[in-house]
Amino acid sequence: MTASPHLGLAASHQKRFLVLFDFDETIINESSDDAVVRALPNQRLPDWLKNSYRDGHYNEFMQKVLTYMAEEGVSKESIQSAVEKISPSPGLLNLLEFLHSNQKHFELAVVSDANMFFIETWLQHTGVRRLFWKIFTNPASFDDTGRLILLPFHSHVCSRCPDNMCKQVIVREYLTGRQKERGGVPFQRVFYIGDGANDVCPSLALGPRDTTFPRRGFPMHVLLQSEATFKANVVPWVRAGHQQEGPPTRAWSCSRFPPVKGKFFLASAARLESGPGTL
């Protein structure tokens, strides 16, 4: 976990709303793990390696991939370049620009099962690292042989999540810790933006005043439709140019945030009524 060196603790106490972002297919428009494979000479993994994946042990699998890449002569610089070339999700930079222009209201953090090297590399290259108060992800560093070594973020007992990370544990501990740091003052609203199946569990930590934004048609959105115990409001988000049907208070298009949708986001943060959301 890392904190932004550009944000002061005192100033953070004044922020009313917390916005939590997943990374792969949320901040960026694809999986960073898939993107770095393109640094291989033939830009693909052998079948024996792809078939070695065990359900619930993705970090273990990705370590095999990174070891294979090092053995194939893929350098740190090549991996870094592959990460830097990943496109942001449509409209994501506009959303971050809006949140930055209203930074007195919003605290931002990343909660991702990717790894620190990929996330830090992309955020720094794109020039948005300073916007994020914290990054919660798997530690990663290169060893003397040039291999990127992944470590699990933590251990946990959640049956929903992979063995290296439970995002709900992270979110709950973060909210508790920040409330203490803020002199006992909780955030007025929490917003969680994600796409994957592992983004459902952290969304269960949200209350009826909070909002989760699943990417429409992605696993998180599909799974939330059958989650009977869900308390937070649910607002699906869509690709650029995808016109969302229904009233604007139930969905937003990331590509249209500034200025109209950005204003809606801020207004919804301030005035969202309590009560369970519907899809």
Q: Is 147 exposed, middle or buried (0-12, 13-18, 19+ CB in 10 A)?
A: middle
199 is in an annotated binding site: no
Question: Which is catalytic among the residues 22, 55, 143, 144?
Answer: 22
Q: What is the Cα–Cα distance from 52 to 244, expressed in whole angstroms?
A: 39
- DSSP-derived secondary structure letter, 246: S
Cα distance between the two ends of the chain:
33
Question: Which is catalytic among the residues 24, 47, 163, 199?
Answer: 24
Active site residue 163: no
Q: What is the Cα–Cα distance from 259 to 115, expressed in whole angstroms?
A: 32
Residue type, 265: F
Structure tokens at 233: 């409001």
Q: What is the Cα–Cα distance from 37 to 81, expressed in whole angstroms?
A: 12
Structure tokens at 141: 């560093």
Pairing state of beta strands 211-214 and 233-234? parallel
113 is in an annotated binding site: yes
Residues 6+ apart with CB under 8 A from 28: 35, 86, 87, 88, 89, 92, 122
34 is in an annotated binding site: no
State whether residue 48 is helix, strand or coil: helix
143 is in an annotated binding site: no
N residues, the chain = 279
Q: What is the Cα–Cα distance from 69 to 66, expressed in whole angstroms?
A: 5
Active site residue 24: yes
Which residues face 91 on adjacent strands?
none
**Chain centre distance of CA 161:** 15
Cα distances from 105 to residues 14, 143, 211, 225, 265, in angstroms, run 7, 40, 16, 30, 12
Binding site, annotated residues for Mg(2+): 22, 24, 195
By annotation, the residues acting in catalysis are 22, 24
Binding site, annotated residues for substrate: 33, 113
Binding site, annotated residues: 22, 24, 33, 113, 195
